Amino acid sequence: MPEGDTIFRAARTLHLALAGRTVTRFETVLPDLAEVDFDAPLRGRRIERVESHGKWCLIAFSGDLVLATHMRMHGSWHLYRPRERWRRPHREMRLLIGTENYVAVAFNVPVAELLNTRTLARHKILNALGPDLLAGDFDPPAVVPRLRASGAPDVASALLDQGIMAGIGNVFKSEILFLCGTDPFAPIVSLTDAELERLVTTARKLLALNTRSPQSSSDVFYSGSRRTTGMMSPRARLWVYDRAGKPCRKCGTAIRFARQGPGARGTYWCPSCQAEGSRE
């Protein structure tokens, strides 16, 4: 599932392929985008930059227009050469941006908006996002007070709150808590500032490790190869996520699973490595 690392990689690759190019083709099945394109056509505009903020991808065009997309669970951006065969069916295409050399296709994207400076400044969700974990100026200590003030029922829910810091999804949430030996159900008030900062620092490190430059010119940016263990085996990529009932890779205790917090998001954890008093 797309998280901050996935969107960062997608934005970086789209930027390298599209920035500075002129839009020669734009298609969409989304009525709101089609309406904006009818009034202010994208064709002929210059793509100025592509960047990410947390789980959002922002494509800026000349003439004060920005395309903001959010992948949610199943969306993805693909990049193709003109006339190259797509790896997803056409019925899953939601929008397409074509240039002379590349075609960028968004498949199954549930959230896509075309904004200008005024509407971008008033966008409630984008303006409510916390610091981007992958931003160059991200400051881990500065996030600790935001965690303390969050009002989240537990630390796992706090990590998912994009208003505190942007980029963590369900996979990284479980992996971060495991690596820090933190009980996912622990209230924020039970953790020291040092423990909270360690969670934030670990989060940034894990996301950054999964944004390495692609080794090939693959047109699919998220390949499912996210790793947190450092192990090369495809069967040992993650510590606890999606491993309910299987032995902990550190102590052998059966990994547990439960739903918690707003939205009843799933959490995986080791009851031994993450028990109270087990934190280093």
Question: For residue 91, what is the DSSP state?
Answer: G
pLDDT at residue 73 in the model: 83
Which whole-number Å values give the CA distances from 116 to 20, 36, 55, 61, in the listed order?
19, 11, 20, 10
3.40.50.880, 1.10.8.50, 1.10.3210.10, 3.30.2130.10: CATH of 149-213+233-269 = 1.10.8.50
> Domain map of the chain by residue range?
4-128, 149-213+233-269
Pairwise CA distance, residues 201 & 12, whole Å:
22
Options 2, 131, 140, 184, the catalytic residue: 2
pLDDT at residue 174 in the model: 97
Closest CA to 169 of 124, 226, 127, 220: 226
Number of H helices, E strands in the chain: 8, 10
Options 55, 131, 173, 195, the catalytic residue: 55
Pairwise CA distance, residues 235 & 222, whole Å:
18
Closest CA to 61 of 115, 111, 137, 112: 115
pLDDT at residue 235 in the model: 85
Q: What is the pLDDT of residues 195-210, one digit of tens each?
A: 999 999 999 999 998 8
Q: What is the pLDDT of residues 147-187, one digit of tens each?
A: 999 989 999 999 999 999 999 999 999 999 999 999 999 99
Assess whether 250 carries a catalytic annotation.
no
**Strands, DSSP E only, in the chain?**
25-28, 47-53, 56-61, 65-70, 76-80, 93-98, 103-107, 111-115, 256-260, 265-269
3.40.50.300, 1.10.3720.10, 3.40.50.720, 3.20.190.10: CATH of 4-128 = 3.20.190.10
Asked whether the beta carbons of 272 and 248 are under 8 A apart, the reply is yes
Pairwise CA distance, residues 206 & 25, whole Å:
37
Assess whether 3 carries a catalytic annotation.
yes
Pairwise CA distance, residues 11 & 17, whole Å:
10
pLDDT at 140 over 90: yes
Assess whether 55 carries a catalytic annotation.
yes
Question: Any idea which of 126-140, 156-170, 217-231, 249-263 has the lowest mean pLDDT?
Answer: 217-231
Confidence band for 216, pLDDT divided at 50, 70 and 90:
very low
pLDDT at residue 170 in the model: 94
